[in-house]
């Protein structure tokens, strides 16, 4: 689920607005037979163009790697793509007004629908380890009125296995992360304005949740080196050091680095640093999106493709 404070705000807006209309828009990705009509839009691509996810805009783009140009985007007034906070080809996409949410598998040159939810539901990434993928499904009793959320695991046949259910709007499950065989997730209590972290066995849908910690000012969760990291909204704590990163932060274990996207004036800059020492290993201005490939961070920028070597020897 890359996660961020910015993503949280957009998701909160989506939760408030979702379900206000069921009018379908142009459908470029189709769901299973009998599923809710899709309103998922996929940007057209041709030739050498590839699909690149833009985390700042939360959109899928058709990107020309030679020209460094965004040729087309999935943008809509209230349509967004949502990503996991760890590497995964799976995204969710949908409109806060028309619903039609789906789970999509995005490749360099292809997009396919993996699963869908009901016409009165929305779905967002929660946590994945690349094998097991968990999501949060929002349900609505009527347009704009949330009735609850549930944590689900996506099965290989595109079906959902429910792990936990929450009554809304007092129990708002928010962010999550997988560490080993444990799923950690945060729940927001709007009446108290606090977040509480619980855990569940990732392979036991019938297990009771375990309280891990409470009284947090932010629901952001990260995993690094087998440890659970939490945030106060500006600083991530719980690792070998504290990390100043308010939003759009990604941790990788091999090699151990922190990548983040920040604004510098009107520009978006991708920077990557050694997670243990804080030493900057590289940066890419005018970034659109990026991918992590065998010790290299591949940055797709408006000036072309830039490789950032994450090994100390190459940095």
Query: What predicted TM-score, i.e. pTM, was given to this entire model?
Result: 0.86
Do 63 and 151 have their domain in common? yes
In a domain, 42, yes or no: no
Is residue 2 predicted with pLDDT exceeding 70?
Answer: no
Comparing 146 with 131, the larger pLDDT belongs to 131
For tokens 């604004």, what's the residue?
263
For tokens 């990705």, what's the residue?
29
Query: How many domains is the chain built from?
Result: 2
Flag the least confident range among 23-27, 116-120, 167-171, 280-284: 23-27
Percentage of residues in the chain having pLDDT higher than 70: 86
Is residue 185 predicted with pLDDT exceeding 60?
Answer: yes
- Point out the domain boundary residue: 245, 264, 291: 245
Do 84 and 206 have their domain in common? yes
In a domain, 239, yes or no: yes
Of 118, 125, 121, 59, which is closest to residue 91 (Cα–Cα)? 125
Domain range spanning residue 298?
246-314
Q: What is the domain-level CATH number for residue 267? A: 2.40.10.480
Do 257 and 223 have their domain in common? no
- Point out the domain boundary residue: 224, 245, 266: 245
Do 98 and 111 have their domain in common? yes
Do 139 and 240 have their domain in common? yes
Q: CA 32 → CA 103, 112, 244, distances in Å?
A: 11, 11, 43
pLDDT per residue as tens digits for the range 75-90? 777 899 999 999 999 9
Phi, psi of 305 (to 5 degrees): -90, 130
Do 268 and 204 have their domain in common? no
Of 187, 193, 184, which is closest to residue 167 (Cα–Cα)? 187
In a domain, 257, yes or no: yes
Cα three-residue angle 113-116-117, rounded to 5 degrees: 165
- Point out the domain boundary residue: 245, 263, 285: 245
Flag the least confident range among 75-79, 88-92, 93-97, 178-182: 75-79
- Write down the pLDDT at residue 29: 41
- Asked whether the beta carbons of 99 and 121 are under 8 A apart, the reply is yes
CA distance 86 to 296: 15
- Write down the pLDDT at residue 313: 56
pLDDT per residue as tens digits for the range 217-266? 999 999 999 999 999 989 999 988 999 998 899 999 989 999 999 999 99
Do 116 and 54 have their domain in common? yes
**Helix count and strand count (H, E) for the chain:** 1, 26
CA distance 30 to 93: 12
Do 269 and 237 have their domain in common? no
């Amino acid at each position: 689920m890359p996660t961020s404070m910015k993503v949280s705000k957009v998701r909160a807006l989506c939760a408030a607005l979702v379900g206000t209309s069921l009018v379908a828009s142009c459908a470029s990705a189709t769901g299973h037979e009998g599923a809710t009509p899709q309103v998922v839009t996929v940007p057209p691509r041709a030739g050498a163009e590839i699909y690149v996810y833009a985390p700042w805009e939360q959109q899928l783009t058709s990107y020309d790697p030679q020209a460094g140009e965004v040729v087309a985007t999935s943008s809509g007034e209230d349509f967004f793509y949502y990503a996991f906070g760890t590497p995964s080809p799976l995204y969710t996409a949908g409109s806060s007004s028309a619903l039609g949410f789906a789970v999509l598998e995005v490749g360099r040159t292809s997009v396919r629908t993996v699963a869908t939810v009901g016409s009165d539901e929305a779905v967002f990434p929660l946590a994945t380890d690349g094998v097991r993928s968990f999501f949060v499904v929002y349900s609505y009793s009527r347009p704009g009125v949330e009735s609850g959320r549930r944590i689900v695991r996506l099965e290989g046949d595109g079906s959902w296995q429910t792990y936990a259910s929450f009554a809304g709007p007092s129990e708002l499950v928010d962010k999550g992360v997988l560490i080993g065989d444990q799923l950690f997730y945060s729940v927001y209590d709007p009446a108290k304005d606090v977040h509480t972290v619980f855990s569940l066995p990732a392979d036991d849908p019938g297990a009771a949740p375990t309280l891990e910690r409470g009284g947090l000012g932010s629901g952001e969760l990260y995993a690094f080196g087998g440890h659970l990291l939490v945030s106060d909204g500006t600083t991530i704590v719980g690792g070998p050091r504290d990390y100043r990163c308010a939003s759009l932060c990604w941790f990788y274990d091999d090699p151990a680095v922190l990548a983040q996207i920040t604004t510098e004036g009107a520009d978006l800059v991708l920077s990557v640093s050694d997670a243990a020492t804080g030493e900057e290993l590289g940066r890419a201005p005018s970034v659109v999106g990026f991918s992590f490939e065998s010790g290299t961070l591949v940055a797709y920028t408006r000036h072309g493709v830039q490789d950032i070597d994450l090994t100390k020897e190459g940095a």
